[in-house]
C-alpha cells in the first residue's frame, strides 16, 4: 500500500478526529517529505512493543497506532485467558504525551473488558514490572522511550511474570497486532468502571522488596554518612530513588535540582542518557562541589543507571556498564559469602555480549553463571525456569542495566542505586574507595576492558552492506587478530560452535539470533550484532590482559585500549 493509500484510509476512518485529518491534509499539501516519512510504512510492533517519533501517521507514535497495538494485545489476552478474567497494569514516564497515551491504552483495554490498574502519575519501569506480579495481572504496558531523544515515545508490553514477552507470546502478539489493518477495528470507547487507580500502596510494597536485598545489616550511622549525588535527568527516578536511599539510611543525598523536575523536553541535556558524559555533566559538577563519594544518574524510565567514582587523582571518572555490573556482582557474591548465605544453590545471569568477568567472579564463589541472548526478557526467562529450584542473586548486561533479586523481572535502576550506595558505604567502612575496590576486583578475577563500536550504514545499500559483512565473517572468520589466534567462533544464527584449530563444529544451545562471537586465545571476546530495527551493526569488544599492580592500573588499562583498537583494525570494518 502506498503512502497516499494509507493516508486515505485514515482520512476515510470514522474514528480519526478532525484535527488529525487536518494535519494529514496539511502534510500532503505542504510537506511532502514529512508526509512520506509519516505514512510510508506501519510503525513496527516488535518483540518489545513500539518505539518511534511522535506525530500523525502510520509510522508515528500517536493515539491510533497505540490503539491498534493495544487492540491486538487485547485480542491475544482474551483468547489466551478466556475463562480467567484478564487484568493489566499501566504506567508511564515523563515523556511528552505519555499520560495521554497511557489513558488511550487504558480505554482500549477496558473497551475489550480487561480490568486496568492505572498508576496515578509517572512511575519507573521496574515498578510496573513489579506491579504486574504483585497484583496478579496477565500483562502490563509502560509508555516510555527509555533514553531516546525528546521527539520519541514508546510502548513496552509485558507478560504475566513481569518480564517483556518471549516465545511463543512475543510472536503471537505481533501476529495479532499485524492483523489489525484498520483504525476502525479498534475499540476506543473505554469503560471507566474497569479502571482502578494505584499509587503509593504499590510504591510501599515495591520499596519493601528493595529493602530486603540489603546486605549491610550492621552498618553504623557513620558508615551511612557517605556523600551521594543523584540526578534523575528529568525522569521518573525522582519518584523513588530518594525514598530508597533514605530507607537505606543515607542522609547526605544531594539531588541535582536543575534536573529533578520531570520534563519530557529534557531541557538541560542533549540526550537523557546516563551513558553519556554530557548527560552526567551537572551531576559531576555537583559531585565536585560537595566532595561526593559516589555520583549516580538514572535514565527517564529509571531502568538504567550511570555512575562516576573518584580515581587515584581524586577526579571523577565515569564507569562503563560492564565495570559497574562487575562491581555489583563482586559485592553481592562476596557479601552473600561473608553472611553465610551461599550454599551452592545460587546463580547469576548475564547476556552473551557482557564481560566474562561476571562469570569469573561467580566461578570463584562457586556460584552458577548463566548466559542469555541480549535483553532482560531473556534473563527473566532463566529466572522463570528456575523459580522454586535455585536462588537468583543478581545479573545484568553491559548497557547499564542490572537486576538484584527476583521480585522485578526487568532492569531496575532504583534497586541498583540503593545497592551501589550501600556498596560504596561498605567499601569505605573497610578503609577503601570504589576505585580501590575496582582494582582489587581486576587483580583477583581478571583484568578486562570493554568497548562498543556502533557502525551506521544508511538506506537500502547500508542494510545490504551489513548483511554482506556478516556473511563474510560467517564464511571466512578471521584466524588471527593483531597476531592473536581466534580459537572459537560462535554463530547464534546457525547454532554452531566452530573450533578453529580442529575445524570441528558442535551445537550451540541457544535460540536463533543474528550474532557472531570470536573468542581469542588470550581470553578476549568480540561480538558482532546487527540491529533488528535500525541500519546499524554493533561490535562489542572485551579484551583481557594483565594488571601488574595497583600503581600501574592507568598504564595497563590504556594498553588494553590499544589492543581493542588493533583487534578492530584486524576486522577490516
Output the pLDDT for position 573. 83
Whether the per-residue pLDDT at 175 is higher than 80: the answer is yes
How much is the mean pLDDT over the chain? Answer: 96
Q: Report the range of poorest mean pLDDT among 13-17, 79-83, 161-165, 263-267.
A: 79-83
With cut-offs at 50, 70 and 90, classify the pLDDT of residue 533. Answer: low
> What global pTM score does this model have?
0.96
Higher pLDDT, 133 or 457: 133
CB 455 within 8 A of CB 571: no
CB 412 within 8 A of CB 402: yes
Pairwise CA distance, residues 375 & 533, whole Å: 14
Output the pLDDT for position 531. 81
Whether the per-residue pLDDT at 534 is higher than 80: the answer is no
Q: Which of 58, 146, 232, 399 is catalytic?
A: 146
- Residue 314 burial (CB < 10 Å; 0-12/13-18/19+)? exposed
CB 264 within 8 A of CB 98: yes
Whether the per-residue pLDDT at 532 is higher than 90: the answer is no
Does the annotation count 146 as an active-site position? yes
pLDDT tens digits, residue range 139-163?
Answer: 999 999 999 999 999 999 999 999 9
Q: Provide CB contacts within 8 A for 535, sequence distance 6+.
A: 456, 457, 458, 459, 462, 463, 466
Pairwise CA distance, residues 302 & 282, whole Å: 18
With cut-offs at 50, 70 and 90, classify the pLDDT of residue 46. Answer: confident
Pairwise CA distance, residues 183 & 190, whole Å: 16
With cut-offs at 50, 70 and 90, classify the pLDDT of residue 290. Answer: very high
Higher pLDDT, 360 or 459: 360
Output the pLDDT for position 170. 92
With cut-offs at 50, 70 and 90, classify the pLDDT of residue 84. Answer: confident
Q: Mean pLDDT across the stretch 474-500? A: 96
pLDDT tens digits, residue range 356-397?
Answer: 999 999 999 999 999 999 999 999 999 999 999 999 999 999
With cut-offs at 50, 70 and 90, classify the pLDDT of residue 535. Answer: confident
Amino acid at each position: 500500500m502506498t503512502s497516499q493509500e494509507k493516508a486515505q484510509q485514515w482520512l476515510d476512518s470514522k474514528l480519526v478526529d478532525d484535527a488529525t485529518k487536518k494535519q494529514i491534509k496539511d502534510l500532503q499539501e505542504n510537506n511532502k517529505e514529512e508526509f512520506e516519512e509519516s505514512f510510508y510504512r506501519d510503525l513496527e510492533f516488535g518483540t518489545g512493543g513500539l518505539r518511534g517519533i511522535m506525530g500523525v501517521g502510520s509510522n508515528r507514535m500517536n493515539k491510533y497506532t497505540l490503539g491498534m497495538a493495544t487492540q491486538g494485545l487485547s485480542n491475544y489476552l482474551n483468547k489466551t485467558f478466556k475463562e480467567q478474567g484478564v487484568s493489566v497494569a499501566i504506567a508511564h514516564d515523563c515523556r511528552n504525551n505519555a499520560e495521554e497515551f497511557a489513558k488511550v491504552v487504558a480505554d482500549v483495554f477496558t473497551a475489550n473488558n480487561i480490568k486496568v490498574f492505572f498508576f496515578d502519575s509517572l512511575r519507573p519501569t521496574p515498578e510496573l514490572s513489579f506491579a504486574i506480579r504483585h497484583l496478579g495481572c496477565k500483562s502490563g504496558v509502560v509508555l516510555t522511550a527509555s533514553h531516546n531523544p525528546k521527539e520519541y515515545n514508546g510502548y513496552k508490553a509485558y507478560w504475566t511474570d513481569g518480564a517483556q514477552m518471549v516465545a511463543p507470546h512475543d510472536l503471537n502478539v505481533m501476529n495479532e497486532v499485524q492483523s489489525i489493518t484498520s483504525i476502525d477495528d479498534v475499540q476506543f470507547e473505554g469503560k471507566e468502571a474497569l479502571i482502578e487507580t494505584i499509587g503509593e500502596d504499590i510504591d510501599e510494597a515495591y520499596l519493601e522488596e528493595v529493602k530486603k536485598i540489603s546486605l549491610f545489616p550492621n552498618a553504623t550511622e557513620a558508615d551511612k554518612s557517605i556523600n551521594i549525588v543523584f540526578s534523575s535527568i528529568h525522569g521518573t527516578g525522582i519518584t523513588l530513588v530518594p525514598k530508597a536511599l533514605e530507607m537505606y539510611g543515607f542522609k547526605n543525598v544531594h539531588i541535582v535540582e536543575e534536573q529533578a523536575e520531570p520534563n519530557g523536553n529534557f531541557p538541560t541535556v542533549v540526550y537523557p542518557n546516563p551513558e553519556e558524559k554530557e548527560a552526567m555533566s551537572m551531576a559531576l559538577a555537583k559531585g565536585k562541589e560537595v566532595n561526593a563519594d559516589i555520583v549516580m544518574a538514572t535514565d527517564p524510565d529509571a531502568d538504567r543507571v550511570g555512575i562516576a567514582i573518584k580515581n587515584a587523582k581524586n577526579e571523577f571518572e565515569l564507569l562503563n556498564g560492564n565495570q559497574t555490573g562487575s562491581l555489583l556482582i563482586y559485592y553481592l557474591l562476596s557479601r552473600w559469602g561473608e553472611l553465610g548465605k551461599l550454599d551452592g544453590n545460587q546463580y547469576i545471569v548475564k547476556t552473551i555480549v557482557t564481560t566474562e568477568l561476571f562469570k569469573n567472579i561467580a566461578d570463584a564463589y562457586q556460584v552458577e553463571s548463566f548466559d542469555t541472548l541480549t535483553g532482560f526478557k531473556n534473563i527473566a526467562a532463566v529466572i522463570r525456569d528456575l523459580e522454586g529450584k535455585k536462588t537468583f542473586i543478581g545479573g545484568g548486561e553491559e548497557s547499564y542495566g542490572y537486576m538484584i533479586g527476583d521480585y522485578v523481572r526487568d532492569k531496575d535502576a532504583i534497586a541498583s542505586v540503593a545497592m551501589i550506595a550501600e556498596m560504596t558505604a561498605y567499601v569505605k567502612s573497610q578503609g577503601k574507595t570504589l576505585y580501590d575496590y575496582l582494582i582489587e576486583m581486576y587483580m583477583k578475577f581478571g583484568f578486562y576492558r570493554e568497548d562498543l563500536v556502533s557502525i551506521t550504514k544508511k538506506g537500502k545499500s547500508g542494510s545490504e552492506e551489513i548483511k554482506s559483512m556478516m556473511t563474510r565473517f560467517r564464511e571466512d572468520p578471521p584466524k588471527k587478530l593483531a597476531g592473536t589466534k581466534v580459537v572459537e567462533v560462535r554463530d547464534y544464527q546457525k547454532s554452531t560452535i566452530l573450533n578453529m584449530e580442529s575445524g570441528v563444529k558442535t551445537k550451540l544451545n541457544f535460540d536463533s539470533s543474528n550474532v557472531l562471537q570470536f573468542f581469542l586465545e588470550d581470553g578476549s571476546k568480540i561480538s558482532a550484532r546487527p540491529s533488528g530495527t535500525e541500519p546499524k551493526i554493533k561490535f562489542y569488544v572485551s579484551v583481557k590482559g594483565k594488571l601488574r599492580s595497583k600503581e600501574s592500573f592507568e598504564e595497563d588499562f590504556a594498553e588494553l585500549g590499544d589492543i581493542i583498537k588493533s583487534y578492530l583494525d584486524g576486522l577490516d570494518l
